[in-house]
Amino acid sequence: MSSTTAPSATRLHELLALQAQRQPTATALWWQGRATSYAHLQARVARLAQRLASVGNPGDRIGVLAFNGPEFIEFMYAAAASGRILVPLNARLAPPEWCYQLGASGVSLLFADAELLQALRAEPGVPQTLPAVDLQGDYAQWLEGPQATLPATAADDPVWILYTSGSTGRPKGAVLTHRSFLAGLESAALARPVLPGDTYLYPFPLFHVAAHNVLLQHQYGAAVVLLRSFSPEATLRACREQRVTTLSLAPTMIAMLLDDPAFCPADLASVRTIGYGASAMPETLLRRLLADTGVGLCQSYGMTELSGSAAFLTVEDHQRAVAGQPALLRTVGKPLATVQLKVVDEAGATCPPGVAGEVLVKAPQCMSGYWQQPEATAAVLVNGWLHTGDVGRFDSAGYLSIVDRKKDMIISGGENVASREVEEVLRGHPAVKDCAVIGLPDAQWGEQVAAVLVLDGEASDDELAAHCRAYLAGYKTPKSWRRVQALPLNAAGKVDKPALRAEARERS
């Protein structure tokens, strides 16, 4: 079934139920080499939903602290069907961070992988009265308990509370509704259509908003190949064995695939499109991929608060970039017809092309707010517009470039330095494989520009500085240089700049 002929749904769990009616024997999920049909997955979801409905009340928060697995996907649908709100917890966080999110969201029942639950229970801040079910232990027995009739649900009911990365202050819980999720899927389908017979590979954590890609595939009847976690070997093997047609990766993941000693272009012979986000695609990486394979690339721009993505750089845009328009790779593409997107200055006036300002979005896919944080909600949702915190600019052709995150903007000697701009210049040096630019405290200038580099060759500090000065003002050139084997990534596959800043403070 193509994106243009999918049955309509007004609530999240209806996506799966409709496909179970339409094509019950088709594969919905591949997990560790085993296929699960739409009918079987729907039956498991219905059973879980009725069990959840017997505990507590509609609107209760249900926590899931787990690595990828079929049960996690079942909770994604069953919590919505039972009128409960799913709170997916980042399995990579530390126990005190889990405790904060459990308390802030008011989770009344937690489902967790055994090893994560053990770590959580060892944390003194965990409420001893919080009921928790071990997914590897007593979950099967719990599932055999009483069942109840499912409550009525409305399109504007919350379905997920997703906590942001919290790179400034405490993380906030973005409330996503049936309506916002489905609107996000409508946007994604315009840019990344799902075709009949598609098999999609998902390597990201399911506790991230990127999981909307799984819902998109199920909306149109495709099969999802789920990995417990990303590895080049597992990804390449799945592409070969399951004849994967589409998948999502971060640029760093794509580079790891191509660098894997076992990589063979034939591994990706069935792949039509790789969707990516989190960071820009280096031109050198794009040319490597296209030289070796026939894969198309599609970049998305989005965030948790948008229930997905709002702008896309299409496969055709990437082809034009290689054919002589490399500047396109420094953009995130064009906004979709499903959203309104504008760039405004500090006074709220719309910026003309070429002038940077904050990116604002108005669309049905925007979150309803931050959970029980009215002041934080009022600060970012103003007159129906979501203030993204991203600094961007349009060009004359309507392509949007993200200059930086407001919070990642470096202010050195009173001058603004966009870290992304410096990173793009550094990636143009032949020895720089990857990089991250951060601001570090400086007694004289307030902040200094610092570069963290992954090199593929030799390059001295002086050589790198000279390269930067050839393209950038002197105050934008990094004053300190550090070389690492790999950059730390967060759950979204983005470079974890807060971790880099914290590590630099510890080293100083």
Top-confidence residue, 452 or 279: 452
Say if residues 209 and 237 touch (Cβ distance below 8 Å). no
What stretch(es) of the chain map to CATH 3.30.300.30? 409-507
Top-confidence residue, 494 or 29: 29
Q: What's the pLDDT score for residue 330? A: 85
Q: What's the pLDDT score for residue 411? A: 74
One-letter identity of residue 348: G
Mean pLDDT of 314-330: 90
* Residue 273 backbone dihedrals phi, psi, to 5 degrees: -145, 140
Structural fold of domain 12-177: Rossmann fold (3.40.50)
Distance CA 8, CA 444 (A): 59
First to last CA, the chain: 57
Q: Residue 131: pLDDT band by 50, 70, 90 thresholds?
A: very high
Q: Residue 490: pLDDT band by 50, 70, 90 thresholds?
A: confident
- Is 80 exceeded by the pLDDT of residue 255? yes
Say if residues 217 and 198 touch (Cβ distance below 8 Å). yes
Bridge partner list, 482: 452
Q: Residue 491: pLDDT band by 50, 70, 90 thresholds?
A: low
Longest dimension (CA), the chain: 70
Q: What's the pLDDT score for residue 168? A: 47
Distance CA 127, CA 109 (A): 12
Give 152's DSSP letter.
P
Q: What's the pLDDT score for residue 4? A: 45
Model pTM? 0.83
**Percent of the chain residues topping a pLDDT of 90:** 71
Q: How far is CA 138 from the centre of its chain?
A: 31
Q: How far is CA 429 from the centre of its chain?
A: 28
What stretch(es) of the chain map to CATH 3.40.50.12780? 12-177
Q: Residue 92: pLDDT band by 50, 70, 90 thresholds?
A: confident
Q: What's the pLDDT score for residue 492? A: 61
Q: Which CATH number fits domain 409-507: 3.30.300.30, 1.20.1440.230, 3.30.1060.10, 3.40.640.10?
A: 3.30.300.30
- Is 60 exceeded by the pLDDT of residue 398? yes
Who's near 235: CB < 8 A, 6+ residues apart? 201, 203, 227, 247, 249, 253, 257
Edge-first strand listing for the sheet containing 199-202: 34-37, 27-31, 223-226, 199-202, 246-248, 273-276, 296-303, 308-313, 334-335
Strands 199-202 and 173-177: unpaired
Which three-class secondary structure state does DSSP give residue 14?
A: helix
Percent helix, strand, coil in the chain (nearest 5)?
35, 25, 40
Q: What's the pLDDT score for residue 349? A: 96
Give me the residue label for tokens 């934008």: 476
Q: Encode pLDDT of 159-196 as tens digits.
A: 999 998 654 457 899 999 999 999 999 999 999 999 99
Give me the residue label for tokens 């049909």: 37
Q: Tokens at residue 436, please?
A: 């991250």
Q: What's the pLDDT score for residue 145? A: 96
Q: Residue 404: pLDDT band by 50, 70, 90 thresholds?
A: confident
Who's near 169: CB < 8 A, 6+ residues apart? none
Q: Which one of 8-12, 127-131, 470-474 scores highest in mean pLDDT?
A: 8-12
Q: Encode pLDDT of 135-157 as tens digits.
A: 999 999 999 999 999 999 999 99
Distance CA 471, CA 125 (A): 51
Closest CA relative to residue 242, chosen from 284, 279, 282, 270: 270
Mean pLDDT of 419-424: 84
Say if residues 342 and 400 touch (Cβ distance below 8 Å). no
Q: Residue 217: pLDDT band by 50, 70, 90 thresholds?
A: very high
Q: Residue 2: pLDDT band by 50, 70, 90 thresholds?
A: very low
* DSSP labels, 431-462: TEEEEEEEEEEETTTEEEEEEEEEESS---HH
**Among 92-96, 107-111, 186-190, where is mean pLDDT lowest?**
92-96
**Percent of the chain residues topping a pLDDT of 70:** 94
Give 147's DSSP letter.
-
Q: What's the pLDDT score for residue 291? A: 83
Who's near 76: CB < 8 A, 6+ residues apart? 12, 86, 206, 211, 214, 215
